[in-house]
Amino acid sequence: MSFDLGPIEFHEDVLEAMTVGATSHVDPEFIHIFGKPIEMVRKVVLSKNARPFIVAGSGTLGWDMVATNLVKSGENALVISNGYFGDKFGLCLQNYGANDTFLHSSTPGDHPSLEAIERELLLKQYKLITVTHVDTSTGVLSDIAGIGRLVHQKFPETLVVADGVCSVGCEEIKFNDFGLDIVLTGSQKALGARQVDRSLLLLTGLSKPSSVESPC
């Protein structure tokens, strides 16, 4: 496995697996074939009970899935942004009607403090908070464990959504222990699965299913 920003070189086993024909989704074998990666995804985020959704699409589709399934028009979203991808995630939510508040660090290369995030969360009810675990544009690593635990303990109604496109598979993520509700990622980076004409999106959740009306 390579730990660069990707897209990366692929193991020959992965390339070989990509050469087999498509299996019907009603083929009994399909349950086994699809079940294995679901179990493996759980291991990547060190969780026994996270619910992975493996979908053909890009990381950006993960933003759309969050925007369409988890936040209604007019509801508040707190966007912790440490660069281009954090901002773009926020703009995606806005396009679907979310009422965004952006929190940036005052120092380039840093991230907003937990104190600043808590102050903001005390001001109004937020449906969700988004944080880019590693923003590819700046390389800033966010404290998703600190944010997840803070929200989980003090603001349990708010969903914690982590963009892990640039971190899943190379930065430690303890899904339950960190208090995360959603982690989204793409297959083309540290996970090292091939991006053909579309990449594979993994959406891992949800620990608060009651707050989701129409899961993907």
Ligand X SMILES: Cc1ncc(COP(=O)(O)O)c(C=O)c1O
Please, which residue, 58 or 158, has the CB nearer to ligand X? 58
Report CA-CA distances (Å) from 103 to 67, 77, 96, 160: 18, 11, 19, 15
**Alpha-helix residue ranges (DSSP H) falling in the chain:** 12-17, 28-44, 59-70, 84-95, 114-123, 144-154
Of 110-118, 131-139, 153-161, 208-216: span binding ligand X (CB under 6 A): 131-139
Q: Does 7 bind ligand X (CB under 6 A)?
A: no
Please, which residue, 64 or 118, has the CB nearer to ligand X? 64
Distance separating alpha carbons of residues 191 and 169, to the nearest angstrom: 5
Of 12-20, 56-64, 123-131, 172-180: span binding ligand X (CB under 6 A): 56-64
Question: What end-to-end distance do the CA atoms of the chain give, in Å?
Answer: 30
Residue selected from 47, 52, 85, 131 as contacting ligand X according to rule CB under 6 A: 85
Q: Does 81 bind ligand X (CB under 6 A)?
A: no
Q: Does 136 bind ligand X (CB under 6 A)?
A: yes
Q: Are strands 99-104 and 128-132 parallel, antiparallel or unpaired?
A: unpaired
Of 19-27, 58-66, 175-183, 205-213: span binding ligand X (CB under 6 A): 58-66
Residue ranges in 195-214 that form contacts with ligand X under rule CB under 6 A = 199
Q: Does 163 bind ligand X (CB under 6 A)?
A: yes
Q: Does 65 bind ligand X (CB under 6 A)?
A: no
Distance separating alpha carbons of residues 93 and 98, to the nearest angstrom: 5
Of the CA atoms within 13 Å of residue 130, those in its CB half-sphere come to: 33
Apex 118 CA angle, 47 and 99, nearest 5 = 90
Q: Does 192 bind ligand X (CB under 6 A)?
A: no
Please, which residue, 60 or 211, has the CB nearer to ligand X? 60
Q: Does 59 bind ligand X (CB under 6 A)?
A: yes
Q: Are strands 128-132 and 140-141 parallel, antiparallel or unpaired?
A: unpaired
Write out the residues near ligand X by the rule CB under 6 A.
Answer: 58-60, 85, 132, 135-136, 163, 165-166, 186, 199
